[in-house]
Structure 1
Amino acid sequence: MGASATHSVLLLLLLVAAAAANQLGRTTQLQEDAVLTCPELITKYGYPVETHEVITDDGYILTLFRIPYGRDSATKTANPKPAYVQHGLLSSSDDWIIAGPDKAFGYILADAGYDVWLGNARGNKWSRRHVSLDPEKAAFWDFSWHEMGIYDLPAVIDYILATTGTKQLHYVGHSMGTTMFYVMGSERPEYNAKIRGAFTMAPVAFQANSKTPFIKTLSVAGKQLKVLSKLMGINEFLPNTELNAVMGEKLCRDTAPTQAVCSNVIFLVAGFDSEQLNTTMLPVLMAHFPSGASTKNFLHYAQSIKSGKFRQYDYGSIKNLKKYGSLKPPAYNLNKITAPVALHYADNDWLAVPKDVAKLHAKLPNLIGKFRVPFSKFNHMDFIIAIDANELLYDLVIRLMNRY
């Protein structure tokens, strides 16, 4: 689909959304799963849940949700196997459970005997707090996935290990959750020893071949967007609000004539795969996603696409010289990632394109392996919401985890 067609679809969605918002009334009936919070959903489906808070070294307050064992109390063991599961860009812990029991990876992992910890990166709806900074001010949002890798992941890992009394854990990440891990492994290499195995879904590091129109547009107009966002005070991108749920019900339910538009917006970002999308769950997905992120996150990814390199944030030559001691930002040294890493990728992923995954594969020193999802249309979001994700992906991931 060309750029003009892409813009037309996005514009249509915005126009319909505006019309729906103008007609919102108290009679709107939302699906229960669209209204319930992450811990409420976990409880609803018969799983135990705990809420934990972690404070990073730079003061961000992160929320974790723990599913210590599965629906069957027999999965509760004296020697828990902690697994830290980290979401992607604009996402939250909710993404790992909204597909429901027997479908969502968070539940499947708990039923497989793992002590599951669902992370929330700084800036999303569950981690929108700081010990001193105000999220209504620009200073709060001065971070990208670099800071998530060097601050968020180490703080969470240390907390989980201290709480469970274990020395190592499994790490599972999707999209930005993989990027964060590669940053940590490169910049905080001492944490490699705390990882039993890292299972990275839709791995995002190198992005020269990214196909998604939105991020590619940012890579071209990144400087203009940076200036514009500062002038307009736009530091937070697509926060989660109550309107998400109402719009999802109005626009994306099975009887809505606009449901196809909802699907196409997902496909324009992730890659087209109507066969694996459960359209009935779209209102629930829309209620929980997007969950907010910093504008700087998007700019950092746009820089990666434009440069073709996996490196730190580019502030411009003068600021780079002051911050890094060089005109260009330093590249992440992937040779320092000594933890075992599995790469799970898909042919139809527009964000983690196989050619870029192959480049990452060649640079990681301790690989469990590179595993292609055996379905040619599998896309970037399918790693989380595909109808057959269990058979196509999760069963293999858990088998591999059981070996480490």
Structure 2
Amino acid sequence: MSNSFDGLFSKVKNIFVPRVRDAQKSIEQYILEERIKQAFNDFVEKTAADADTESPEYASMKSEPTALMSTPQLATIHGRRIESHVIKTRDGYLLTLHRILSKHNQNDTKFSNETILLHHGLLGSSADWILLGPEKSLPYILSDAGYDVWMTNARGNYYSRGHKSKPVNSRSYWRFTFQEMGEYDLPAAIDYVRTLKNSTKKINYVGHSMGATALLVLLSTAPRYNQYLRIGILLAPLAFMSNIQGPLKILTSMSTDPPDQLLKAIGDTEFVPSRKIPKMMASKFCKGANIYCSNPLLFLTGSIPEQEPQDASFMARLLYHVPAGGSTDTIMHYGQLVKSGKFHRFGRVKSEFPLNQVKLPIAMFSSSTDWLATVPDVLRLYFSISNPIDHYVIRGQNLSHTEFVWGSEANVLVFPKLMDYLENGLNVNFVKANEV
């Protein structure tokens, strides 16, 4: 009877849980992945519905075929093979990793030579890295160079909205900042990749904005992870923030104990859950078209197009994928760093992260026109860690905070130097050329 039941169970499982080529997924894993897919679908459908009633511009953008596609769908359209992996952190959050499979390892993609982990920036997701399309996107450049590319999704974005016990609409779910991303999310991702590949080979890391912050938190609080990584490349890193410009600076005076009126405007759990900056606030602090000024990430970073972008398809993808969600506490934590001039724990100015524990070789990028990761602040970070490689400054190119990843010139101004660091950055005779 037992054997008969096992056989029946196996047949049912094969019907409802499809096989994948590399590994047999458990029912639990399959259910988790379906939940993530549904969360993304609900997220973009609600966004589209809300936008249609508020803005004719959004309604026209919805007709762009790739606007509402998820990261796996976009990658597939771009002709790439991609996997989704759901992992669980020590504090119970469910996160999604997206993996681009290298074309050079058709027979055995699990054991490609070099592994690289990409972590998106503030209010972002894995989609940020591939918005530029099949020719210019960094993950595809890396994959074509033979790297096994993994992309994270931080807790709270629409690919990582799950918890083993906390409902996503509860206050307790949203009580996190980049501190927890560094202490829980990144270790879970690194441990998972190392275990899956059954390899002790060191992982390369690229972090943009908040992705850089999370790495600094991890390496300073759990120094053993310095040994698990080969090199860190930080694009527009956020740590010291004394010199920032723009609306985030206005929030600093209220970041420790934000008033109810402010929280009503921006949300007290998820940051601007409507994905629209209130019109009065946008018009007061932002110059440009309302469709861009009302976007929370473009608003905070000053990444507002000075003229109407030529690529309407790209702008449709951008405005429907960004922001991807995040907590108000994260924004308030950054506000606290601006106010204190230190890199410290949430609400604890005297508890600074010990950056002298960051032993990993690290290269940094900054731009003279970045509102958030200013050149002086990144330079201060450069001299605060133990093993800096280089600080590469891009001047006079009008490169904003977000454009390190999806700027139209990122494949010219940023990615070639990034590849150079990956290949030569650890060489003793590496020649530094730190400005463009």
TM bracket, shorter-chain basis: 0.7 to 0.9
Counterpart among 57, 72, 91 of residue 58 in structure 1: 91
Task: After superposition, give the CA deviation of every residue in 1:239-287 in whole Å (9 maximum; x if it has no partner).
Answer: 488x99xxxxxxxxxxxxx984445563762356749966522111011
Q: In the alignment, which residue of structure 1 is the partner of 2:21?
A: none
Q: In the alignment, which residue of structure 2 is the partner of 1:193?
A: 227
- Structure 1 unpaired stretches of 5+: 1-16, 245-257, 315-319, 321-327
Counterpart among 198, 211, 216 of residue 165 in structure 1: 198
Structure 1 182/152 Cα, relative in aligned 2: closer, same or farther at 3 Å? Answer: same
CA distance in 2, matches of 1:348, 1:25: 28
Q: In the alignment, which residue of structure 2 is the partner of 1:380?
A: 401
CA distance in 2, matches of 1:236, 1:340: 34
Runs of 4+ in 1 over 3 A off after TM superposition: 17-20, 22-29, 70-79, 226-233, 238-241, 258-265, 270-279
Structure 1 76/18 Cα, relative in aligned 2: closer, same or farther at 3 Å? Answer: closer
Q: For residue 184 of structure 1, what is the amino acid of its counterpart?
A: L
After TM superposition, give the deviation of residue 68 of structure 1 in Å: 2.0
Q: For residue 382 of structure 1, what is the amino acid of its counterpart?
A: E
Counterpart among 302, 305, 311 of residue 270 in structure 1: 302
Q: In the alignment, which residue of structure 2 is the partner of 1:181?
A: 215
Note the 1:191-340 alignment, pairs <5 A: 191-213=225-247, 215-223=248-256, 225=258, 227-228=260-261, 234-239=268-273, 260-263=289-292, 266=298, 269-270=301-302, 274=306, 279-280=311-312, 281-314=314-347, 328-340=349-361
Q: 2:369 aligned with 1:348, yes or no?
A: yes
CA distance in 2, matches of 1:373, 1:27: 35
Q: In the alignment, which residue of structure 1 is the partner of 2:35?
A: none
Select between 63-72 and 53-62 the one with higher mean Cα deviation: 63-72
Structure 1 313/113 Cα, relative in aligned 2: closer, same or farther at 3 Å? Answer: same
CA distance in 2, matches of 1:226, 1:74: 57
Q: For residue 414 of structure 2, what is the amino acid of its counterpart?
A: L
What SS is found at the alignment partner of 2:225?
Answer: helix
After TM superposition, give the deviation of residue 304 of structure 1 in Å: 0.3
Q: How many residues align?
A: 361
Task: After superposition, give the CA deviation of every residue in 1:131-156 in whole Å (9 maximum; x if it has no partner).
Answer: 11111110011110001101100110
Q: For residue 352 of structure 1, what is the amino acid of its counterpart?
A: A
After TM superposition, give the deviation of residue 376 of structure 1 in Å: 3.4
Q: Looking at both structures, which has the greater relative contact order when contacts are Cα pairs under 8 Å and sequence separation is at least 6?
A: 1
Structure 1 342/276 Cα, relative in aligned 2: closer, same or farther at 3 Å? Answer: farther
CA contact 1:125–1:291 (8 Å) conserved in 2: yes
CA contact 1:374–1:392 (8 Å) conserved in 2: no
Q: 2:123 aligned with 1:90, yes or no?
A: yes
Select between 301-310 and 108-117 the one with higher mean Cα deviation: 108-117
CA distance in 1, matches of 2:67, 2:60: 16
CA distance in 1, matches of 2:308, 2:236: 16
- Structure 2 unpaired stretches of 5+: 1-49, 278-286, 427-436
Structure 1 203/273 Cα, relative in aligned 2: closer, same or farther at 3 Å? Answer: farther
Q: In the alignment, which residue of structure 1 is the partner of 2:414?
A: 393
What SS is found at the alignment partner of 2:84?
Answer: strand
Q: In the alignment, which residue of structure 1 is the partner of 2:181?
A: 148
Q: In the alignment, which residue of structure 2 is the partner of 1:358?
A: 379
Q: Percent of aligned pairs with the same residue?
A: 34
Counterpart among 22, 42, 47 of residue 75 in structure 2: 42
Counterpart among 157, 161, 171 of residue 128 in structure 1: 161
CA distance in 2, matches of 1:369, 1:308: 23
Select between 108-117 and 19-28 the one with higher mean Cα deviation: 19-28
CA distance in 1, matches of 2:61, 2:381: 47
TM-score, normalized by length of structure 1?
Answer: 0.81
Larger radius of gyration: 2
How much is the aligned-residue C-alpha RMSD, in angstroms?
Answer: 3.1
CA distance in 2, matches of 1:136, 1:114: 38
CA distance in 2, matches of 1:276, 1:387: 14
Select between 155-164 and 259-268 the one with higher mean Cα deviation: 259-268
